[in-house]
Structure 1
Amino acid sequence: MQVLSLMILGIVGLTLLVYTILCALGIMPWLTFEAQFGDYTYLYAGHATQIGVTTLFLLLFFFIPSQSRLLALERSHRDFKISMDDVARAFHVCHTADRSGVFTLSSEFDAVRERLTYLRDHPDLAELETDILTVAAQMSQQARRLADVYSDERVARAKDFLRQRQAEAENQQARIIEAQHSCREIRKWAQQIELEESVVASQLARLDEELQSALPALGYSFEGFDAPESTDEADPDAKTSRPANVVTMTKPAAE
């Protein structure tokens, strides 16, 4: 009924406000009646009554937000139960602060109290009940060893180390790719040189064949020659004999 009353109050107040504004603009007619007090007659009593009632409802508008918050608070107290989502949210906030090194007290009681005070002053947890904050503070105190191991400083140092290793791996990968590219260039170059050498060898062989076929037509030929033992009586002009590895060209018979 309270919620329904607030809704009716809001609707009636808005309606009166809009209607009064339209009356002031001359679009809608004013409430008109005369009132007499003693010997004096008020001709515009309807106008005054309409404006007064509208002002009263506008003043009542300021109580609607506070009354809504009060109803929500009563409903939350009436239907209160510990929600694991709320506990998890409060624990996450407390554990994050613990990892950042916010809490410094070592005693168990002092540590829980310090965490509970931090959660109560946190702006994002103002709507949570004290029991939920107490449970989250106790859970955070039990997980303080975990928060110390995975503190922000150690996590940042581990990330820096992994980032350096990743950079080294990327550099090694770049060097490997460059070496593979160089190997492919060298292999391609060697194949090109072998191809050029094979072309030169085939050209030399073809040139030798052409020369072998052209010399007989000119009356020349390549023959191996073993020089006989020379004597002064047989050839007085020959002073030395030709070595066996010299190839001579025989003259044609016509010559």
Structure 2
Amino acid sequence: MSYQLRSFLQLVEAVFQRLALGAFALSALVLTAVTLLAALGHLPWLDFSVNIGAVPYDNAGRITQVAVTVLVVMLCFFLPANRRIMRLESSHRDFHIGMSDVARAYCAAHAADRQGLFQLSSEFDSVRERLAYLRDHPDLEALEPEILELAAQMSHISRELADVYSDEKVARARAFLTQRQQEVEAFNARLDQAKHTCRELRDWAHMVDLEESVAISQLNRLRDDLRDLLPELGHEDVVDADGKVIELSNKAAAE
């Protein structure tokens, strides 16, 4: 249930309570006047008879009228107590409404304090400065001076908190955290790029090793084939210190 609807229902309840009290008091006054006029002979009594068993009571109407009048008059003595209870309920509702207004005024003063609008340090000057700001605030024109003064005092008490969490410091902290986050994101991007480059170089080195192994295998096979083929062609092969094959004819080999 919203605050506006609850306030409306409380207002309707208070109105009906006051109407009921007024109607009850008016009824007591009318019954008392009618009974007194009937006792003086200016008005007739309430007339009806009641039979209790076999005994008839012809004056039952008069007894009933007098009893109801006395009962209503006795109940009227409880009206002041009920009125005091209603006054306490009204003051309780007014207290909650006042605290809500104090909280709203304090939020405005605290927000201004976080922006650095208040510069005076002494308690009297600080409270007066905040009070002047709240009086000139466009959203707080309908509030009472006592509420504004209480909100200004609360704002002065929490001035250290407003200084610690000022808008400038909060903005600087946000900017620092944003920069750190950007640096972390850039570092992660470079790290991913380095990982990709490392994988690429490792795969490339593996491919080069495979190709080199294939080339060496083919070279050794070629050497074997050439070593077997040279004697048949009348040549001899000589391997120098660097592992190179030097082809020599039989005549050169004889010399």
Q: TM-score, normalised by structure 2?
A: 0.48
Rg (Cα) greater in structure: 1
- Give the helix-richer structure, 1 or 2: 2
Q: TM-score, normalised by structure 1?
A: 0.48
